[in-house]
Amino acid sequence: MSRSLPVKRSGWEISFLGERALTLSPELKGDCLADIHRIFRCLEKKEIPGVIDIVPAYEQIAVIYRDPIPDIQLPAKAIFEAIEEAADQDFESRLFEVPVCYELGLDWDEVQDQTSLSKQEIVRRHSSKIYTVAMMGFLPGFIYLSGLDRELKCNRKEHPRTKIPCGAVGVGGMQTGIYALESPGGWQIIGRTPKLFFDVHQNPPIEIQPGDKIRFTPISKQEFKEIES
């Protein structure tokens, strides 16, 4: 039900994920995020017939088809061609500056307790990094970012909130992320951005893609209101 092909000294395996989807996984586990983003971009550019969505994650890529897949060999050929092309290509990652009002954080007491750092030091560390957009999840436009300072690692909340505002910036484990929509959630919220990331009236509805970069810029409550309005 699967086959593999060596690419850049490592192999990739395709397997079924239900009757209308396939997963593409590296055989050698480890830091494969850059390769996943490269292959994701190549698959999108290739526009494989019948594919309606391509979803990269930390260790796999899901390829979703419109119709049931009768034989894995047929789509595997087109996918492996894209992998071969990706091995010789680099993709451009864009850098997005994201303003964040850290004064609007909801969980500062808990975050300071878990990190044993002051609020000022947490803000300094969080805003001094350039993060990679690892993937999109668990609702439309939610942005998972890799590259968090290890000293800022925080456990998710034991009792998730039923309502987190649009634009909330949080920390969950060794990740930081942005809630593009109002939703329930269990991450520790340390700020909020007035920038909108998801718009159903745009095509695509979100401009940022996996592999892009984000840098947070601290702003005041007054600046937040001015940008929001």
Q: Cα separation of 106 and 90, whole Å?
A: 39
Q: How far apart are alpha carbons 66 and 90 in whole angstroms? A: 29
CATH code 3.30.1360.40 region(s) in the chain: 3-86
Q: Which residue has the tokens 């300072």?
A: 149
Residue range(s) of every CATH 2.40.100.10 domain in the chain: 95-228
Q: What pTM does this model have?
A: 0.83
Checking DSSP bridges between strand 213-218 and strand 95-100, what pairing results, if any? Answer: parallel
Q: What is the pLDDT of residues 37-76, one digit of tens each?
A: 888 888 888 778 889 988 898 888 999 999 988 877 778 8
Distance CA 68, CA 224 (A): 47
pLDDT score at 213 = 95
Kindly list the distances between the CA atom of residue 2 and the CA atoms of 41, 83, 181, 184, in Å, as whole numbers in the listed order. Answer: 22, 15, 37, 37
Mean pLDDT of 105-134: 96
Q: What is the pLDDT of residue 8?
A: 36
CATH H superfamily, domain 95-228: Cyclophilin-like (2.40.100.10)
Share of the chain above pLDDT 70, in %: 93
Write out pLDDT tens, residues 126-161: 999 999 999 888 888 899 999 999 999 999 999 999
In this prediction, residue 7 carries a pLDDT of: 36
Rounded-to-integer distance, Cα 184 and Cα 162, Å? 4
**Average pLDDT of the chain?**
86
- Structure confidence at residue 200 (pLDDT): 79
Answer CATH for 3-86 from 3.40.50.10090, 3.40.50.11540, 3.30.450.20, 3.30.1360.40: 3.30.1360.40
pLDDT band at 3 (very low <50, low <70, confident <90, very high): very low
pLDDT (average), residues 85-94: 74
